[in-house]
């Protein structure tokens, strides 16, 4: 896979990262973790969240085995109400395909980034590199610094059927 803007940015800023190239079909964080041979909690997914009132849209970066707790996220951001758009709307809002939405590919695009606090104690996390099939492993502190993100407790266990 040739270098995209995310790879070029990381190289330009001299940020340590590891790149994984998978086939480009859409898959969830848990399936990605299986393919990479890592725990689902190592792969962080980026969820687009919309404010019901004015303000920037939000990118919530959460472990693959958890889901965004909208109440906790709203509380962390002093918001009354937030909602998660449909996949189609998320693609329209970001200009990226679901499965390839990455905070690193959306720098300077007016998104507020919130990373689940579980990432703070980790050496590295794996996130999308801005296109389907491209995954990047990097230090959460580097991700937070690049995206001007804040850490907050914004997840709950994912419901299984």
- The per-residue pLDDT for 1 is 57
Residue partners of 38: CB distance under 8 A and separation at least 6: 126
Backbone φ and ψ for 47, nearest 5 degrees, come out as: -110, 125
Q: Would you state the structure tokens that stand for residue 55, as one six-digit string?
A: 């303000």
- In the chain, pLDDT over 70 holds for what percent of residues? 96
Its pTM stands at 0.94
Average pLDDT over residues 105-126: 96
Please give the distance of CA 160 from its chain centroid, rounded to a whole number: 21
What are the beta bridge partners of residue 19? 136
Give the number of other CB atoms < 10 A from CB of residue 105.
22
Domains and their CATH numbers in the chain: 5-157 (3.90.960.10)
- Identify the residue whose tokens are 């449909």: 86
CA dist list (Å): 55 to 52, 110, 112, 114, 116: 9, 9, 9, 14, 20
Locate 94 and state its tokens: 């970001």
> pLDDT tens-digit profile of 37-74?
999 999 999 999 999 887 899 999 999 999 999 999 99
Does the pLDDT of residue 89 top 60, yes or no?
A: yes
């Amino acid at each position: 896979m040739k270098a995209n803007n995310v790879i070029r940015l990381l190289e330009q800023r001299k940020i340590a990262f590891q790149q994984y190239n998978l086939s480009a079909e859409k898959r969830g964080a848990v399936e990605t973790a299986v393919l990479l041979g890592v725990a689902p909690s190592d792969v962080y997914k980026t969820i687009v969240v919309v404010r019901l009132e004015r303000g920037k849209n939000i990118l919530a970066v959460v472990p693959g085995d958890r889901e965004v707790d909208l109440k906790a996220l709203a509380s962390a951001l002093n918001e009354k109400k937030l909602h998660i758009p449909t996949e189609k709307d998320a693609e329209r809002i970001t200009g990226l395909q679901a499965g390839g939405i990455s905070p690193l590919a959306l720098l300077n695009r007016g998104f507020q980034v919130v990373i689940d606090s579980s990432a703070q104690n980790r050496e590295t996390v794996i996130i999308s590199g801005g296109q389907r099939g491209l995954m990047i492993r990097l230090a959460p502190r580097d991700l937070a610094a690049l995206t001007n993100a804040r850490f907050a407790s914004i997840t709950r266990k994912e419901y299984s059927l």
